Structure 1
Amino acid sequence: MLAENNSTPRSDEELQKNMVGKLKPHNAPITLVEHDPSWHGLFEREANRIRSVLGYKALQIEHVGSTSVPGLCAKPIIDMLLVVEDSADEPSYVPVLESAGYTLRIREPEWFEHRLFKGPDTDINLHVFSSGTSEIDSMLRFRDWLRSNKTDREKYAQVKRSLAKSKWRHVQHYADAKTSIVQEILERANTIK
């Protein structure tokens, strides 16, 4: 969620370094849609599928990102958080997920050993982190704060809509451009414990 806050977009080479497979340019504005209540059901279906193939190795599965916040516009891609014992230990979970149709697309060892999979038949971003990683708490705190704080939810939506109108070479550049508003909102959320 919180990428490094760079004023210049990451180069194709920087992004490709973490990609599994070929980096494909977006070269378009970002499509945002109003919240769709069916997103929760899509999350539940995927969570059940992941639990069924990983069993006890799936320590926690959460619906995160904008699709998990009623009333917030979002890209129609379900963001999911999967917590495993050690996300760097790929042999312990990657082959099982791949056998169920999930595709490993991003490997970021320098950013909390983050891994990202795409789903077999639903447009998802499955973010995998190790148990105890601080980014897990950040993602959940951000989600929960936006669910309960209408002012920040509307402010975040306004920034997203404004940024989405621009043409983005890569979707990650749009995500990186939101870093400052995400950090600002998280700072407020962190004052309430």
Structure 2
Amino acid sequence: MVKANFNEGVLQMKIELAAYNPAWKIQFQQHKRKLENCFKNADIKIEHIGSTSVEGLSAKPIIDILIGVPDEEDLPDVVSALAGEPYIYKKVYDQALPFRRFFIGVREDVIDLYPNPVEDEGLTVAREHRTVHIHAVPVTHQWWEEHLLFRDHLRANPDDLKYYEETKKVLSEKKWESGNDYASAKSDCVMHILNKAKQLKTN
């Protein structure tokens, strides 16, 4: 969960991490079944990523899901398939990351509070309303490969899992202007672990 407060007119956020919860696996499977029913293409892949996918790792209790499509040209089909579902399409990110489509799953009782798609960069979906973050990318893109590699490496390497966990806890004690700032602050740690994972993979 993310708590916000005002300090001299600047909105600041504090990241609150929850201890690992086995229910996160169940929640992912529930969303996976729902998503599978949305797609007619058997080539679509659906993976659980992020901290909620790694046993023993604390996390913001929002499930991260990675959808893999055969090619970038298939991304509009993902947008069409999820239309009308409780997943809000954040169209504003398309320009910065044209190879990805990003969706926020929200509680069905609050979905009417948000336009779909969200095209206003300044409109934020409240954290307490979110259930999942969905990233749709081509399976040929490094985004797909690196997110799965990072997840699998943490699952298999307790020392790096501990290093990542400790980094997150230190950063969660600070205040941030946005969740993206918190994510950026983790980047050195993430890249260190990811580069190690790539090295091990090639050896």
8 Å CA contact 1:138–1:186 kept in 2: the answer is: yes
What percentage of residue pairs aligned between the two structures are identical?
A: 33
| CA distance in 1: counterparts of 2:175 and 2:134, whole angstroms | 25
Q: Does 1:146 align with 2:150?
A: no
Following superposition, the deviation at residue 111 of structure 1 comes to: 3.3
TM-score normalised according to structure 1 size: 0.81
Larger radius of gyration: 2
Q: Give the strand-richer structure, 1 or 2.
A: 2
8 Å CA contact 2:75–2:101 kept in 1: the answer is: no
8 Å CA contact 1:100–1:120 kept in 2: the answer is: no
CA deviation string 1:108-158 (max 9, x = no partner): 444361221011436111011023011111000100000111100000010
Say if 1:91 and 1:57 are closer, same or farther in 2 by CA, change over 3 A. Answer: farther
Q: Does 1:101 align with 2:86?
A: yes
| CA distance in 2: counterparts of 1:76 and 1:156, whole angstroms | 17
Show the counterpart of 1:117: 103
Show the counterpart of 1:136: 144
Show the counterpart of 1:160: 168
- The one-letter code sitting in structure 2 at the alignment partner of 1:117 is F
Secondary structure of the 1:29 match is strand
Aligned residues between the structures: 169
After superposing on structure 2, the runs of 4+ consecutive aligned residues of structure 1 that deviate more than 4 Å are: 87-90
Following superposition, the deviation at residue 92 of structure 1 comes to: 1.7
Say if 1:115 and 1:90 are closer, same or farther in 2 by CA, change over 3 A. Answer: same
Show the counterpart of 2:200: 192
TM-score normalised according to structure 2 size: 0.77
Which deviates more, 126-135 or 101-110? 101-110
Q: Does 1:85 align with 2:70?
A: yes
- The one-letter code sitting in structure 1 at the alignment partner of 2:93 is R
Which residue, out of 58, 66, 78, partners 1:73?
58
- The one-letter code sitting in structure 2 at the alignment partner of 1:29 is K
| CA distance in 2: counterparts of 1:26 and 1:182, whole angstroms | 26
Say if 1:127 and 1:58 are closer, same or farther in 2 by CA, change over 3 A. Answer: farther
Q: Any gaps of 5 or more consecutive residues in structure 1?
A: 1-24
| CA distance in 2: counterparts of 1:131 and 1:125, whole angstroms | 18
- The one-letter code sitting in structure 2 at the alignment partner of 1:180 is D
Show the counterpart of 2:127: none
- Aligned-residue Cα RMSD (Å) equals 1.9
CA deviation string 1:29-63 (max 9, x = no partner): 10101100000010001011111011316611000
Following superposition, the deviation at residue 90 of structure 1 comes to: 4.8
Following superposition, the deviation at residue 171 of structure 1 comes to: 0.3
Following superposition, the deviation at residue 26 of structure 1 comes to: 6.3
Bigger relative contact order, structure 1 or 2 (CA pairs below 8 A, ≥6 apart): 1
8 Å CA contact 1:112–1:129 kept in 2: the answer is: no
- The one-letter code sitting in structure 2 at the alignment partner of 1:156 is Y
